[in-house]
Structure 1
């Protein structure tokens, strides 16, 4: 009789839906900005990959839009009167540009995972590979906010600038390399004549996001890798500089 009563009191929970996973992932993305220590403690117990995929997808989309903004203010005028919109050329190559962006983000994700795994192994960190891979994906949330601010900054900057017309005295069939050099020089001159410095302002908040990245690395080591605060601080600094080194050595040469 007692067994029947216990059986009748069992509650059968429905399996989580896609909407449930989406809500959890969006909540975790917000936690990166509010309480990364709580986030990575959760990730250590129940890793997910939808959140990181959302973050890196947004990074790719925003980077593509930022590139379009630059080209939307410029056009090439050839000696024979032919006009070519740089934004049109950008859109026509969007597939190949997007492929490079995706490759770059995936490389950064795997590099971050490898660096975290190596450093935590040396400094006696604990945890599963799946939760670490998920945590390093959420690390891109800091980069995402950095890119959003960069893009807003660019929108205000370009709104204060006149459109750029680049005169080329060669025919429309001149080599791509020559055109690229002329365009790069013209854009550099155009930016230098801006009413307010763009690069200087960017430098200030770039330092802030660099420090924030180190704090999020610290949260991963303490909450997900279960390291002591002293070891986590050392590991965070080592990780940050190793990732910067890997970025310069392996990623940037592919996209310059």
Structure 2
């Protein structure tokens, strides 16, 4: 009974922490300054890790939706060429790794910028606050999944004849490139809402600089813009 009660207690503790994370995430969406003041007064790392895990799982779902349109003929029937389970471990590892690298990069950038601009920086608080920026990525992942599901439902299948010389994932990717080149119109709305989420990220960087580093709003805006610009350049150059 003692061991069971400990497990139950631990599970309840994790559940409470996750509930706190979700509440904080919702607050960030509507009251970012208030939410980040609360995060700075009670920083944690489990919340950001939970957000990263959710983003990674949603990425798997989006991959599954996209590659559902790439098929091959097997036994006279059309079957999927690639399933999400074929590459789940690679996708999850890369998604988690890239988001953690972004987390570290943003921390370094905002720490340096805050110091240069005369902020009062507590590294633990700043690192935790930056982790909650992944609320934006989570919302973007959800919107991406919904939009992709709608778009792919109206697209035709791409029938690929497998070649033993090439990996199946590579062949499926080439098939998707062909499909998207023929249906470029679906990229327009995606660029628009991606721009909105990028702008939202920049605003949150400024809020973090204000609440976690105690910068004035003008200096926080400068720090947020600089961090956003450098992060975008890094994502283009190294693919984060």
Mark the structure with the bigger radius of gyration: 1
Q: 1:141 Cα deviation (Å)?
A: 0.5
Find the residue that maps to 1:76 and give its secondary structure: strand
Q: Deviations over 1:52-110 (max 9, x none)?
A: 111111111111111111111211349x979763333x412322222222211211111
Q: Deviations over 1:152-191 (max 9, x none)?
A: 00000011112221235xxx422339x82x5444323323
- Inter-CA distance 84–232: structure 2 relative to 1 (3 Å threshold): same
Pairing partner for 1:187 from 176, 181, 187 = 176
Find the residue that maps to 2:118 and give its secondary structure: coil
Q: Given that residues 221 and 235 in structure 1 are in contact (C-alpha distance below 8 angstroms), is that contact kept between their aligned partners in structure 2?
A: yes
CA distance in 1, matches of 2:82, 2:143: 22
Moved over 6 A (4+): 80-84
Q: 1:208 Cα deviation (Å)?
A: 0.9
TM-score (norm: length of structure 2): 0.85
Q: Deviations over 1:10-29 (max 9, x none)?
A: xxxxxx94444333222111
Question: Where does 1:142-161 land on structure 2 (aligned, <5 Å)?
Answer: 142-161=136-155
Q: 1:201 Cα deviation (Å)?
A: 0.8
- 2:215 corresponds to 1:214: no
CA distance in 2, matches of 1:187, 1:50: 36
Q: Given that residues 71 and 78 in structure 2 are in contact (C-alpha distance below 8 angstroms), is that contact kept between their aligned partners in structure 1?
A: yes
Q: 1:46 Cα deviation (Å)?
A: 1.2
In structure 2, the gaps of 5 or more residues are 1-11
Find the residue that maps to 1:125 and give its secondary structure: coil
- Structure 1 counterpart of 2:34: 38
Structure 1 stretch displaced more, 100-109 or 140-149: 100-109
